[in-house]
Amino acid sequence: MLNIKSIVSIAAAVLPLVSARPASLGTRAVLLPEDDPFYQAPITIDSSAPGTVLKSRKVATSFFGFIPNPVEAWQLLYRTNAVNGTAISAVTTVFVPTGAKTDRFVSFHTAYDGSSRDGKCDPSYNYQLGAPQEDIISSVEFLLLQAFLIDGYIVSAPDYEGPDAAFGAGRLEGTGVLDSIRAVQNFGSTLGLTTTTPAVVGYGYSGGAIATGWAAGLQPTYAPELNIKGWAQGGTPANLTGTTVFIDGTAFSGFLPQALVGLSSPSAYGATLEPKIDSIVTTEGASQIAFAEANCGVANLLQFPFKSVQSIEFQTEGDRILYDPVLAYALDQQLMGRFSNETPTAPVYLFHATSDEIIPYANASTLYNEWCGYGASVDFVTYANGGHATTEVLGFPGAFEFVNSAFAGTVASGCSQQTKLDSTLNPIALGAQLEPILVALLNALAAAGTQDANIKADVSNFAKTIT
């Protein structure tokens, strides 16, 4: 589940830019998704095919500094599926830079890591000019998204957690991504796409890699008609049970109550999980759950550090909770790489730090072995000198290069592994055009410290400086 720290570190570096955003340009009040009628699905949704565009509107988005000209942006409300197959809707924001390539687009999966039921963690809300920056994660990853825009790509950034902010529900996120790609394709003539089968490459780190990895694995069966050229994902939570035992009781335990909330949303496993959790939570646990239902990632980290969801202070089953059949089933459903028919057919770029302090490296390495065993093409890059946050930055040039190669069709097939010892970025790694982005990323690396040392030393203090 997530990648807060990366957020935190990068956020510290770009905070001055965030505050410099021209908030005064936003004349239309931006409404929370729960109050914004645009987010409400019409009744025709039930009879529409997944990926149908139910509503569309142009929006003004907020850029902090790197793109001189306004970028045309659209929001599409599209039909997708709940875990149980019921029709639900989600929104994707599509950015169309001037002079963009018109036969392809990037599907960008922001690590928004939140389960707030009012929708305030949704990227589509946060990207709008004038929205209060409740979710610093989306704001910060916006920098990486802009690298793709500057490079001339149309970018679609879906609210892949769907209408209930089902954080952690990988299967729902994967189909949410795939249906957003269908929606962009269906809306292609308005966006200026010159083909009905645009080439697509997906990108996501940490929470965004849950969405990316599941979209990659489900695509061959769920959306085989799409022209997918590749998937780049890093800091991948391939095993939520593994992530839970790894971070429970640490500085990053705040991801867990919100994952419980996300998994127990109606569109995910709520029918069985919500009554189960309600029946075992303590008063303290219930108040933590209520907090997670109303707040985004960084706030949750500050709320629940060094606490344990496996303790009897949180729920009455204590450390037997992970063996409870109802919760174990929901967690088990999130295991990537388990079934051969959930293996990506497009090439995958997988990167992960050996000392990732939030998402266990071993589980990503297991995913590499599983997918390769099932015949996938995966390039697995191990960062020997990164933490979770720093590796989002250190690994970005490699992921960016993969995206370009995947579109060009020059990625080698088969599986390969390499280890990188980098602990800083080559200033020209993304090309001269993207130097301003690189400079911000270098600042972020400095702020995070080697292997995230500054973040690990005091995550609360670090987060407070940016909220």
Ligand X SMILES: *[C@@H]1O[C@H](CO)[C@@H](O)[C@H](O)[C@H]1NC(C)=O
Rounded distance between C-alpha atoms, residue 402 and residue 436, angstroms? 21
Q: Between residue 403 and residue 462, which ones bind ligand X under the rule CB under 6 A?
A: none
Q: Please name which of 390, 391, 388, 394 lies closest in space to residue 358, comparing C-alpha atoms.
A: 388
Q: Which residue of 60, 67, 245, 326 would you call a contact of ligand X, by CB under 6 A?
A: 245
**How far apart are CB 87 and ligand X at their closest, in Å?**
8
DSSP letter string over 80-108? EE-TTS-EEEEEEEEEE-TT--SSEEEEE
Binding mask 332-351 for ligand X (x = CB under 6 A): ---x----------------
Nearer to ligand X, 272 or 404 (CB): 272
Q: Which residue of 206, 267, 334, 343 would you call a contact of ligand X, by CB under 6 A?
A: 267
Nearer to ligand X, 219 or 363 (CB): 363
Q: Please name which of 178, 152, 191, 159 lies closest in space to residue 74, comparing C-alpha atoms.
A: 191
Nearer to ligand X, 169 or 440 (CB): 169
Based on the shown chain and the rule CB under 6 A, indicate whether residue 239 belongs to the binding site for ligand X: yes
Other Cβ atoms within 10 Å of 400 Cβ, number: 22
Binding region for ligand X (CB under 6 A) out of 106-114, 292-300, 360-368, 389-397: 360-368
Backbone phi and psi for residue 287, each to the nearest 5 degrees, phi listed first: -75, -35
Active-site residues, by number, are 206, 356, 388
Based on the shown chain and the rule CB under 6 A, indicate whether residue 246 belongs to the binding site for ligand X: yes
Based on the shown chain and the rule CB under 6 A, indicate whether residue 308 belongs to the binding site for ligand X: no
Based on the shown chain and the rule CB under 6 A, indicate whether residue 366 belongs to the binding site for ligand X: yes
Rounded distance between C-alpha atoms, residue 212 and residue 393, angstroms? 18
Binding mask 268-287 for ligand X (x = CB under 6 A): ---x----------------
Q: How far out from the chain centre does Cα 83 lie?
A: 18
Nearer to ligand X, 74 or 222 (CB): 222
**How far apart are CB 112 and ligand X at their closest, in Å?**
19
The CA radius of gyration of the chain, in Å to the nearest whole number, is 20
Binding region for ligand X (CB under 6 A) out of 273-281, 293-301, 357-365, 455-463: 357-365
Binding region for ligand X (CB under 6 A) out of 124-132, 151-159, 265-273, 384-392: 265-273
**Nearest residue (beta carbon) to ligand X:** 242
Q: How far out from the chain centre does Cα 250 lie?
A: 22
Structure tokens at 143: 């920098």
Paired strand residues for 381: 351, 418
Q: How far out from the chain centre does Cα 439 lie?
A: 23
Q: What one-character DSSP code corresponds to residue 373?
A: H
How many CA atoms within 13 Å lie on the side-chain side of 149?
A: 25
**How far apart are CB 335 and ligand X at their closest, in Å?**
6
Q: With residue 256 as reference, give the H or E element that holds it.
A: helix 255-263
Nearer to ligand X, 139 or 236 (CB): 236
Based on the shown chain and the rule CB under 6 A, indicate whether residue 88 belongs to the binding site for ligand X: yes
Rounded distance between C-alpha atoms, residue 171 and residue 173, angstroms? 5
Based on the shown chain and the rule CB under 6 A, indicate whether residue 84 belongs to the binding site for ligand X: yes
Q: Which residue of 19, 86, 340, 369 would you call a contact of ligand X, by CB under 6 A?
A: 86
Rounded distance between C-alpha atoms, residue 440 and residue 438, angstroms? 5
Based on the shown chain and the rule CB under 6 A, indicate whether residue 50 belongs to the binding site for ligand X: no
Applying CB under 6 A, the residues found at the interface with ligand X are 82, 84, 86, 88, 239, 241-242, 245-246, 266-267, 271, 335, 360, 362-363, 366
